[in-house]
Structure 1
Amino acid sequence: MGRLADIMTQCHGIDIDEAQERLLMDDLHAIMKVNETMNLTRILSEEGGIVLHLEDSLTGLPFVEDAPEGAYADLGTGGGFPGMPMCVMTGRQTLLVDSVQKKVRALEGVASQLGLGDKVDVYAGRIEDLGRERAGEFSVLTARALSALGSLMELASPLLKRGGRLVCYKAQPSEEELSCALGIQDMVGLTLKERRDFSLSDGSTRCIFVFEKTGKPRVKLPRRVGLAQKDPLRPR
């Protein structure tokens, strides 16, 4: 058992087999190699990458596995975390979404290099535009350190099918952020199903929120590009 598998088993009760761990580490090394010429991640050491990319990503695995079968997208994927690890662990058809075209092209190359080219697609554009193009097509979405919870809920709602899940990775959100998110649930057609607070193996604290698409939004979504962040929905 390698270091990553040991961490996931001992700290999170998640089992990773030898082949999965090898593929996950190959992904991390490939991203670190790309990062030498392109800014994909601020984490430059293997040890930091194991904890702050792979371990952090995989803490959401039980929630992604618990979502209905079907397509998966990682919103604001950056260096492909948690999207690529989720693809490795679940085998779901995966879409990596980022507005920076050179990033997603690099990730496309990494996926091909890892033998995941048939499972991983990329989308270079804004989430709002994807919501118009592929409305209601996704069973599960992830968003890691991307935006405020309320903004993520608004962006995710048009993409999710009924019963689909949004898995949000956060540090510790403020009470104001959480209150705002809970206050717009009916407005965007999402319902908080689970919250999990935990620590990574380095002691840093994390929080995962899981929302389910339970109804139609009461406002027309998606709104114009950028409004979810610049003028977020507020509880009425």
Structure 2
Amino acid sequence: MTEKEILSAGLHELGLGGEEAIEKLLEFSALLLEKNRVMNLTAVSSPREVVTRHFLDCAVLAPLLPAHAKVVDVGCGAGFPGVPLALLADVEVLLLDSLKKRILWLQEVCETLPIPNASAVHARAEEFGHREGFDVAVSRAVARLNVLAELSIPLVRVGGQFLAMKADDCMEEVGEARAAIAQLGGEIEEVRAYAVPQSGLARRLVVVRKVSETPARFPRRFAKISAKPL
């Protein structure tokens, strides 16, 4: 099967698709691998791996997002999961990262493809502001969950969600983060095990509901978050 056929089949499993979205994802893959030669964006080095390890993993989130939701991708890195979600779901995505050169590249990507419902901002999550300004915060393989929760949950409105994409062996990490999540106004609704379409890679999604306002003292400065995680 070609990369396009694998992507199309995997998206079909999730009830997703659309020729325009598929073509733009494949164009994004080409831009990513080209830029990866001069900038450290991903350990993945082939178009097929971009499809199986990145696109189809990220796509699992798309059916879970409410229509027209404002989504922030915290620590977006090379644009995962934010770029695929902007292409596959009816949402508005803000890509947030602390590394300026990555954000400048993602701004180019959003203009080139184009992706009118995505924007990229250079900022640290704990300094960004926009408190409780998003319906959903998403993040993938950025930091341990207790640290990630302090960076992400303050950005989510009460009633919204924080979705953390994690490895299959994350349950100890989840247990350690429960108290921190509660302190921040969140509640773990479920830890969903799933297999990435086409590859079968085992992953987990931590689903956190924002049930109350985050206390004003959070998030702390990153040095404190790192030195003394909740």
Alignment TM-score > 0.5, same fold: yes
Give the residue type in structure 2 aligned to 1:98: D
What is the DSSP-based 3-state SS (H/G/I as helix, E as strand, rest coil) of the residue aligned with 1:226? helix
The aligned residue for residue 6 of structure 1 is 9
Q: What percent identity do the matched residue pairs reach? A: 26
Instruction: Please say if residues 137 and 159 of structure 1, whose CA atoms lie closer than 8 Å, have aligned partners that are also in contact.
Output: yes
The aligned residue for residue 112 of structure 1 is 111
Determine the C-alpha separation between the residues in 2 that align with 1:195 and 1:8.
22
Matched, 1:208 2:211: no
What is the DSSP-based 3-state SS (H/G/I as helix, E as strand, rest coil) of the residue aligned with 1:14? coil
The aligned residue for residue 62 of structure 1 is 63
What is the DSSP-based 3-state SS (H/G/I as helix, E as strand, rest coil) of the residue aligned with 2:34? helix
Instruction: Please say if residues 142 and 167 of structure 1, whose CA atoms lie closer than 8 Å, have aligned partners that are also in contact.
Output: yes
Structure 2 counterparts to residues 108-187 of structure 1, below 5 A = 108-116=107-115, 118-130=116-128, 133-187=129-183
Q: Offset of 1:202 from its aligned partner?
A: 2.6
Determine the C-alpha separation between the residues in 1 that align with 2:127 and 2:93.
18
The aligned residue for residue 193 of structure 1 is 189
The aligned residue for residue 77 of structure 2 is 78
Instruction: Please say if residues 186 and 218 of structure 1, whose CA atoms lie closer than 8 Å, have aligned partners that are also in contact.
Output: no
Determine the C-alpha separation between the residues in 2 that align with 1:124 and 1:142.
17
RMSD: 1.8
Determine the C-alpha separation between the residues in 1 that align with 2:146 and 2:211.
16
Instruction: Please say if residues 69 and 90 of structure 2, whose CA atoms lie closer than 8 Å, have aligned partners that are also in contact.
Output: no
Determine the C-alpha separation between the residues in 2 that align with 1:61 and 1:94.
12
Give the residue type in structure 2 aligned to 1:9: H
The aligned residue for residue 226 of structure 2 is 229
The aligned residue for residue 48 of structure 1 is 49
Deviates more, 1:101-110 or 1:28-37: 28-37
What is the DSSP-based 3-state SS (H/G/I as helix, E as strand, rest coil) of the residue aligned with 1:2? helix
For this pair of structures, how many residues does the alignment match? 226
CA, structure 1 residues 188+29, in 2 after alignment: closer, same or farther (shift >3 Å)? same
Ranges in structure 1 where 5+ consecutive residues have no aligned partner: none
CA, structure 1 residues 174+168, in 2 after alignment: closer, same or farther (shift >3 Å)? closer
Instruction: Please say if residues 159 and 209 of structure 2, whose CA atoms lie closer than 8 Å, have aligned partners that are also in contact.
Output: yes
Instruction: Please say if residues 2 and 21 of structure 1, whose CA atoms lie closer than 8 Å, have aligned partners that are also in contact.
Output: no
Instruction: Please say if residues 193 and 211 of structure 1, whose CA atoms lie closer than 8 Å, have aligned partners that are also in contact.
Output: yes
CA, structure 1 residues 4+175, in 2 after alignment: closer, same or farther (shift >3 Å)? closer
Q: Please, what TM-score do these two structures have when normalized by structure 2?
A: 0.91
Ranges in structure 2 where 5+ consecutive residues have no aligned partner: none
What is the DSSP-based 3-state SS (H/G/I as helix, E as strand, rest coil) of the residue aligned with 1:121? strand
CA, structure 1 residues 137+219, in 2 after alignment: closer, same or farther (shift >3 Å)? closer
Deviates more, 1:44-53 or 1:210-219: 210-219
Once the two structures are superposed, what CA deviation does each residue of 1:174-219 show, in whole Å capped at 9, x if it has no partner? 4431112222332110111232112223332100111111102357
Determine the C-alpha separation between the residues in 2 that align with 1:175 and 1:57.
20
